[in-house]
Structures are given as C-alpha cells and as structure tokens.
A = this chain, B = another copy of it.
Amino acid sequence: MTTIYDEPEDFATSALKGYAAVYGRFVCAVKGGVVRSTPRVAGKVAVVVGGGSGHYPAFAGYVGPGLADAAVAGDVFASPSTAAVARVCRLADRGGGVLLGYGNYAGDVLNFGAAAERLRAEGLDVRVLPVTDDVASGPADNHLSRRGIAGDLIVFKVAGAAAEEGRSLDDVEAVAKHANARTVSFGVAFAGCTLPGSAEPLFTVPKGQMALGLGIHGEPGISETAILPAAALADLLTHRLLAERPADCTRVAALLNGLGATKYEELFVLWPQVATRLAAAGLEVVRPEVGEFVTSLDMRGCSLSLLWLDADLERLWSAPCETAVLVRRDEPNLAEAIPEETAEVPTFPAASDAARETGRCIAGIIARLADVLHGAEAELGRIDAQAGDGDHGQGMTRGATAARVAADEAVAAGAGARSVLAAAADAWADRAGGTSGVIWGVLLRAWSTALSDSAARKDADVVAGAGLALDGVTRLGGAKVGDKTLVDALVPFVKTLETAFAETRSLKAAWTRAASAATAAAEATRALTPRLGRARPLAERSVGHRDAGAVSLALCAETVVAMLGD
C-alpha cells in the first residue's frame, strides 16, 4: 500500500521535489529530473540515468560525485518522455558528451533512444546503455534481450567511475557495455506493490509462495515455489547466477537488493548465506552492498546481482563516490582488532572464615530456591499467562539454577558472603532472560553490598541489605505499588522486615512476619484489575511479569523462613 500522497498523479513529481529539497548537497531539481549540484570538470562525460519513478533510490539517488551526473524521472513505473530525457541531457552535458543509462524496457528504450537521436541531430554526442542484467528474462546467449533490474546500479557505478576518471565517451561507453555484459541478477518476490491511489496490489503472489524471476513492475516470473528459508534461498539465488560465471573469473562485486518491504535485517540474515556460497565457489567478493538500491514501491522480495570482475572493473566498482544511496571511500585504516573477552575463572577477594561460612549458607539458600522454583514452574507460568507471555516460571527456574551454579563455584573458590551473593546475582540476571531476571539480579546484587567478605554476618546487615535491594529495584525498574509487579510484594516484605526486626531483634521472627506480608500482598495484587492496553504493549507487558512476579517473590521469602536459624 502506498499511503502518503496528496494527488496520486502528482506522486512522482512531488517525491522528486522532496528528494531534491533534502539532498541539495548532491542534486539540483530541474523539470523532469535532477542534475548534479556539485562542481564538475569541463569536458567530463556526463552519465545520465533514468526510468520510471517508484524505484527509489533508482534513479535520482544515484546522482553525485563518482556516479551519475543527472537522472530523469518518469511517472510511477512509466518511462520519462523523450523531451524530458533530452532536456535533462542538455543541462547535464559539460562538453564531453552523454552516456544514457536505463533499464531495458520498451518504453525506456523508445524514449531514451528517441532522445538520443534528437540530441545527435542537435550535435550532442549521446550513447545509449540499456542495462540487461535479469537472467530470468532472457537466455544467456542473447543477454541483450534481458530486462534491467538491480544490476542498473552496478553498471552505472562503473560508468560513473570511468567518467569521473576523465575517460573519453568512447571509453566510458565501452567499459559500461563490458560491465553490462558481465552483470547478472536474479530475484524473487513474496508480495506485490500497490500504486499510489490504488486500493489493490498491482499483482499478487499466492500466500506462502514466492515468484522466481519476477520483474520490478510485476512482469511475469519464470515459476513459483514455496517460500524458502534463508539458506535455501541463498542456494537458489547463487546457483542460478553461478551458472553464468565466466571461466576466468575469481572475483565478483555483489549487490543484495531489497525491493521495498523486505527489510534490511532480512537482507543481513541472507547475506552471510550468500557470501558463504560464493566463497565455496572460489569467488572473492569485493565491496558487497546490501540494502535498498532498486525498489518497486512496497513490493516484498529481493534480488542478488553479481558483476564478474576484471582488474579494470574492480577498480571502477571500488572507486570513491558519494550519493544519497551509495558512499564509497578509499578503504579506511581499521583499528587493531577488538580483543574479545576470554573466558576466565572468576577470582574473588580474600575472605575470612566467618564470611566463607555465611557464603556457604547463602549458596544453600539459593540451591533451595532453585528447587522450589523448579517445582512451581508450571503454576507460575499459568499465573503469568493471564497477563503476560507465560514464561515467568521458566525464567525464574533458569535464573535460580544459574545462580546456584555460580554460588557453588564461588564457594568452591573460597569466596565470602558478599562475593557469593554478587556472583549468584549476576548469573541470575544474565541467564534468566526477560525483565524479571534483571530485577532479581539487581535485587540480589544490591543486597550483597550490605554483606561482607571479611566481617562475620550480623542480622542487622541482612535487614539493611533488604532495604538496599528495594532501593535498587525501584530505582531501576520504576514500578510502584499497585502496578501489579514484584514491587507489590517486595515493599511490604521489606517494610515488615525492617519494623519487625526493630521490634523483635530476631531475624527469623522478622523474616517470618515479612514473608507472610509478602504472601498476603501477592494475593491482593492478583485480585487487582490489570491496566489494559488497547494494543499489546510489549514493553509494559514485561515489567516484572505483572502479578506472577509478586507471587514468586513471596514464594522465595516463604522458602527462606525454614532455612533461617533462630
């Protein structure tokens, strides 16, 4: 669906106007197209490209130093008029003649060809370069019958670089035709595009299918097949193109092109699969490009283009250029490789015997929590599924299990209370996944800072740690009581622990009372009506896993009661 426009018939000219307004550093708008706004040497061959609109960055996005000198834009998917092509060429010429590049389509062939004849009659030397890269549209032994798709950019890049070097029109034409003869593309489409003002797509592909070799305006493909995974799609694309590999060729330029609604990340998923297959065929890929270079409005699909390189073509393909869509510079000097972290045995500060004893005690508590949470996994999942995505039980089990392993390792390495709990906290955060894992990591790590690796445990430190844990969770998480999160149970737990300990000076008595408060609060929070979002608010949905987080906190608090000495 093309959604944004005022009058459909003004879409192409409005888009061109907006493009030129944004990219005044590269282009200057003229009637029917754009001309390079940056200085050029007199006598340089002008590379003028063009075709229908709806293919951005083709063709206006190619104008700039090192690539095209001007672009002519027709209406959506329609060739520019002969007059428009001729007018833009006259403005682009700087005395070196014009190379006219366009895809091999009937309308473009006619209009660009007729413009060239008209201009020649006026005394301007103009050569035509219809690009014919689409292997699906004609046989290899008659490649000039093929239509032009994303290979356009490759051929124009070579031509633009040759012109920028100051070569003659004869030379620029020759190397551009050589590049065209060695450029091949193959594409697939998953879904059609919709013209501005149309309610229905221009064409459709059956659901779950993809069309092989479909053109960029919906021209027929060669067949349909089920949509393939990335690896198999890479097989398909590379296999079809490698069949036309010249015998002598060991290096290729490559361009993986998205047609509009197939997004960059999908192309990035596909690219390593393609690169692997090209490498396996003994080809070295030079300066690959992955992105949107020739689109078809919001069509879904992609194409792979290869240019079989020789030394001259490689230099021209790699040469600097600067346009809205393609920026090439000389290869930068890279920094030293970033050293990845090496897996190390963690080291802990030296600990006193008393602190090591408390550390063992903490490890025992964590082990017990892991067992209890594992037993409650299904029930926690059921509670979570009512408001969230149902994975809270799994996350808690994963976190507590990882924490148990880390705590045991810390104990074995001689760590004290503070380090054992910190190690458990980090492991919980890093393995649990989801937001509750982070919250538990912060909770336990903040708590650990009240403990010591040297001094003996004091009950007051444990209580103080609970306060630090609450501070950490509320500071980072931002949830308040009543938000139906873990905080709903954590606040009464900590407050009760603090008051009861001040009153009784008994950790066990205070903790027992605090655990009961947490349990009561968790039950109360489950009865609250959840705040409902109209859509599915992913970010909110994960905050503390709603009431399941309060329930699991209370469960952990109750579990610890039995483990505390009097």
Residues of chain A having any CB pair with chain B under 8 Å: 1-6, 11-12, 14-19, 21-22, 24-25, 28, 30-31, 35-40, 53-54, 56-57, 61, 77, 79, 81-83, 87, 90-91, 105-107, 109-111, 113-114, 117-118, 147, 190-191, 202-203, 211, 214-215, 217-221, 227, 229-231, 233, 260-273, 275, 288-290, 292, 295, 297-298, 300, 302, 322, 327, 331-335, 337-341, 426, 429-430, 433-435, 437-439, 441-442, 445, 472, 475-478, 533-540, 542-543
Contacts and interface: CB of A to CB of B under 8 A. Distances in A.
Contact of A271 (B2, B22, B90, B300): B22
A335 to B, nearest CB: 4
A229 B6 contact: yes
Contact of A335 (B36, B79, B107, B538): B36
Nearest to A29: B338
Contacts of A475: 113
Given A230-B5, A260-B263, A539 B107 contact: yes
Contacts of A302: 4
Nearest to A274: B18
A203 B538 CA distance: 11
A22 B290 contact: yes
Q: How many copies does the complex hold?
A: 2
A22 B256 CA distance: 11
Contacts of A272: 14, 17-18, 21
Contact of A1 (B190, B333, B478): B190
Nearest to A258: B4
B266 A81 contact: no
26 contacts: A2-B265, A3-B190, A3-B227, A4-B302, A5-B230, A16-B268, A17-B272, A21-B275, A24-B334, A28-B338, A31-B340, A38-B333, A57-B264, A61-B264, A79-B435, A82-B430, A82-B441, A91-B338, A106-B478, A106-B540, A113-B475, A114-B429, A114-B476, A117-B442, A215-B537, A217-B539
B341 A90 contact: yes
A266 B2 contact: yes
A505 B407 CA distance: 110
Given A109-B476, A478-B106, A15 B269 contact: yes
B269 A438 contact: no
Given A81-B429, A300-B1, A300-B3, A35 B270 contact: no
B270 A538 contact: no
Given A22-B290, A35-B338, 5 more contacts: A15-B266, A15-B269, A22-B271, A110-B476, A217-B539
A507 to B, nearest CB: 26
A1 B15 CA distance: 26
Given A265-B11, A266-B5, A331 B25 contact: yes
Given A39-B333, A341-B87, A537-B220, A263 B114 contact: no
Contacts of A117: 442, 445, 472, 476
A433 B6 contact: no
Contacts of A11: 265, 269
Contacts of A542: 106-107
A139 to B, nearest CB: 16
A31 B339 CA distance: 11
Contact of A445 (B56, B110, B118): B118
Contacts of A113: 442, 475-476
Contact of A38 (B233, B322, B327, B335): B335
A80 B5 CA distance: 38
A552 B46 CA distance: 38
A6 B191 CA distance: 19
A209 to B, nearest CB: 11
- List 8 A-B pairs, minimum CB-CB distance, nearest first: A18-B268, A83-B430, A4-B266, A15-B265, A105-B539, A18-B271, A110-B438, A261-B261
Contacts of A54: 265
B429 A219 contact: no
B269 A18 contact: yes
